Chains A and B, each alone.
Chain A
Amino acid sequence: DTEVTQTPKHLVMGMTNKKSLKCEQHMGHRAMYWYKQKAKKPPELMFVYSYEKLSINESVPSRFSPECPNSSLLNLHLHALQPEDSALYLCASSQDGQGQSEQYFGPGTRLTVT
């Protein structure tokens, strides 16, 4: 199984809502990532978990809160988002946390903040 799954595929939320994005992989990978991608732009790294510990936080606002319950799951909790947070949110995993590890990406969650 070389698949990274993400749910939901689409999400519309108001600025006062709380929601969560979910990501799952069963490849035994020990590093997992959250990226944000705006239209016609490259993915921007948000968070990296390595061996279930948060190792990189790219100065992401606190309204985004990541969680790694176990080595197969990664969540992104959303609260009080702004319309400019509307984007495609991509999850990825890699075998380890080294720069030369191939990353496997999920299909993404298309988030719209109204």
Chain B
Amino acid sequence: LAKTTQPISMDSYEGQEVNITCSHNNIATNDYITWYQQFPSQGPRFIIQGYKTKVTNEVASLFIPADRKSSTLSLPRVSLSDTAVYYCLVGDPRYSSASKIIFGSGTRLSIRP
């Protein structure tokens, strides 16, 4: 199973760009990389997903190098409401009829005014 490693916590200020890196050295060929955001006492919320190179949506960008052993979630111009825990996951496709997702330990992001 692909295991992920993330920084435990990060601090930043409103208006800054925040980059959170996740390492997944034993990612499998068919695994995708997914990031979720979680606020206290709520379920996680999907942010972005990618397989290789760069993916961008309206809230974030995901950078994946050619070896796919790491990935970086980039949040442009953060605000106080981006304070949350961010989880990096890789999908395990071994089960052809089901999904097995292992959440990493998560990065607690704190944004200050």
Contact = CB atoms under 8 A, between A and B. Distances in A.
B46 A99 contact: no
A105 B45 contact: yes
> Chain B binding site: helix, strand, loop or mixed by DSSP?
loop
B81 interface: no
A50 interface: yes
Contacts of A97: 95, 97-99
Contacts, number: 82
Chain A interface helix/strand/loop/mixed: strand
Interface residues on A, range: 20 to 34
A99 B100 contact: yes
Nearest to B103: A42
A103 interface: yes
6 contacts: A4-B43, A42-B103, A45-B100, A99-B90, A103-B44, A107-B41
